[in-house]
Structure 1
């Protein structure tokens, strides 16, 4: 394993150790530039929209991404390591849990 691979693996562990969205926000804001964060958010939004089978033109218009980047997100969504699919499924499950009318708060 290269030293860079070790550093990356360690970074994944650090991310998993963050406990709240606020902790994640603070960590990622220190780690990344504001523009990098915006780009990550745009790609995540594109993945959400692609999952709903929305047209590329609508995704490009909403996110400001190029059609090439949207196509790349689509490629990884459908043929990648299934990370987008995993995260989307968990987000959808969490959303259903919190929006369920039978949930008592």
Structure 2
């Protein structure tokens, strides 16, 4: 039987969210997180969650709400809600975006070096078939 959010007791909400947060924090690594979210959320939910993080990233980079709305084709209410979360309600959003920026910066540095492991692996993929590597 389906229940609406307002029909669930506060104690059940707390316990349910605790299970979700504990399960999410137990997942280690990008691939495991990807699999976890793929199984947990519908494709639409994953995309919408990713878009909110993208909006938060653009807001923190100084883009205006009009620029974000035009770039991502989202309404002003969605942008306003993410801005509100960033401002006061959800400091975890800001931390998640900071972590995302660090990861993207790390990726761009590792991919830009001409003789980096990733560049060599992309250029000579057959050489790496017999030697399994960790990560990517």
For the aligned pair, the TM-score class normalised by the smaller chain equals 0.7 to 0.9
Cα distance between partner residues in 2 of 1:93 and 1:36? 24
Farther-moved stretch of structure 1 (33-42 vs 54-63): 54-63
Q: Is 1:4 aligned with 2:13? A: yes
Mapping for residues 13-52 of structure 1, pairs under 5 Å: 13-52=22-61
* Structure 2 portions without partners, runs of 5+: 1-9, 118-136
Decide which structure has the larger Cα Rg and report it: 2
Cα distance between partner residues in 1 of 2:13 and 2:93? 23
Cα distance between partner residues in 1 of 2:45 and 2:104? 26
Q: Quote how far apart the aligned CAs of 1:94 are.
A: 4.1
What's the TM-score once normalised by structure 1's chain length? 0.82
Q: Quote how far apart the aligned CAs of 1:76 are.
A: 0.7
Cα distance between partner residues in 2 of 1:52 and 1:34? 27
* Structure 1 portions without partners, runs of 5+: none
Cα distance between partner residues in 1 of 2:93 and 2:52? 10
RCO greater where, 1 or 2, for CA within 8 Å and sep 6 or more? 1
What's the TM-score once normalised by structure 2's chain length? 0.65
